[in-house]
Structure 1
Amino acid sequence: MEAIQFIADMNFYHWLTLAAVLLIAEIALPGGFFLGAAAGALFTGLIHILMPEMSWQLALTIYSVSAVAFSFLAVTKMRGVLDFQSDHETLNNRMDNLLGAHGVVLMPAGGAAKVKIGDTLWGIVPDEKLYDQAEVKVVAVDGTNTVCELLPR
């Protein structure tokens, strides 16, 4: 019975505090789950200002309906943001971004040949045409190795 009495005694400040706690939970655990509930608590608090003698049953009904409505709105609005498709298909795919890059072959004595592109060393598929310090262009990617061709001098 104490819980019902607490809900019956809730005023604008209680609803505002609930909204703040739910917003903090949303910040700590992002995903949009608490956002609609926080907006519903804030909305209920604002209604509570206009109708201070509102019954606790009506307050809980307003909160429940508005929390579901705001959650639905948040999900539908976020879906458009989260489903964003980049016009750069190779974004965050380092191996695909190497295609067309120019580099220099490094052949250490007794070690595997590498190609230096920028400041990074990449594996290279062995080719008898390649030699140390040769300038090459990446034409394909084979797993984690690059397939390179000599650049004309």
Structure 2
Amino acid sequence: MWDYLQHLSFWDWLAFGTLLLILEVFGAGGYLLWIGVAAASVGVLTFAFPDLHWTLQFILFAILSVLTAVLWWRRQRSAAKPSDQPGLNQRGQELYGRIFSLHEAIVSGRGKIKAGDTVWLVVGPDLPAGTAVRVVGQEGVLLKVEAAA
């Protein structure tokens, strides 16, 4: 084993990098991508400098693995920006604070409102049909309402 480590060639590093990149394709979530790039980079450096000692190759591999992962993480973090539509794909969020009339009375804490062409189940205090209610929250598919002042 030690003899093999002391005579690593650029082919070994390129094969290792290729193996890591292939494993990344199967769903590692980006973890193996930058380690594979680092291994391929060490392979290129070993090709350019064939007398590179094996311990230095491993040190370069470790440094490049951490460096590429950190640089990518920082780039991803700086590129992330808040959405201009924070409620997108969160049905019911756009109804918060709006006032509707009860489509069906709230009995035993449950009733219905009609918002546009959609009927929503609501929870709140018992109120008769036609009462104006304000949407104050959401529990899954149920809207929380209270009587509008």
What is the TM-score of this pair, normalised by structure 1?
0.65
**1:69 alignment counterpart:** 67
Relative to structure 1, the CA distance from residue 17 to residue 119 in structure 2 (aligned partners, 3 Å threshold; closer, same or farther) is farther
3-state SS of the aligned residue for 1:114?
strand
Alignment pair present for 1:85 and 2:82: yes
**1:127 alignment counterpart:** 127
**2:19 alignment counterpart:** 21
1:45: Cα distance to partner?
0.9
Relative to structure 1, the CA distance from residue 146 to residue 61 in structure 2 (aligned partners, 3 Å threshold; closer, same or farther) is closer
The one-character-per-residue Cα deviations of 1:58-100 (angstroms, maximum 9, x if unpaired) are: 322322222222122122112224x432122333443322234
Please give the alpha-carbon distance, in whole angstroms, between the structure 2 residues aligned to 1:96 and 1:114.
Answer: 17
3-state SS of the aligned residue for 1:113?
strand
Relative to structure 1, the CA distance from residue 84 to residue 26 in structure 2 (aligned partners, 3 Å threshold; closer, same or farther) is farther
Please give the alpha-carbon distance, in whole angstroms, between the structure 1 residues aligned to 2:33 and 2:99.
Answer: 45
State the one-letter code of the partner of 2:122: G
Please give the alpha-carbon distance, in whole angstroms, between the structure 2 residues aligned to 1:129 and 1:105.
Answer: 6
Please give the alpha-carbon distance, in whole angstroms, between the structure 1 residues aligned to 2:53 and 2:84.
Answer: 53
3-state SS of the aligned residue for 2:42?
helix
3-state SS of the aligned residue for 1:141?
strand
What is the TM-score of this pair, normalised by structure 2?
0.66
Please give the alpha-carbon distance, in whole angstroms, between the structure 2 residues aligned to 1:96 and 1:22.
Answer: 43
**1:140 alignment counterpart:** 135
State the one-letter code of the partner of 1:141: V
Q: Which runs of 5+ in 1 are unaligned?
A: none
Please give the alpha-carbon distance, in whole angstroms, between the structure 2 residues aligned to 1:11 and 1:120.
Answer: 68
Q: CA RMSD in A?
A: 3.7
Please give the alpha-carbon distance, in whole angstroms, between the structure 2 residues aligned to 1:46 and 1:120.
Answer: 63
Alignment pair present for 1:94 and 2:91: yes
Residue-pair matches, total:
141
Relative to structure 1, the CA distance from residue 98 to residue 49 in structure 2 (aligned partners, 3 Å threshold; closer, same or farther) is same
Relative to structure 1, the CA distance from residue 5 to residue 120 in structure 2 (aligned partners, 3 Å threshold; closer, same or farther) is farther
3-state SS of the aligned residue for 2:103?
strand
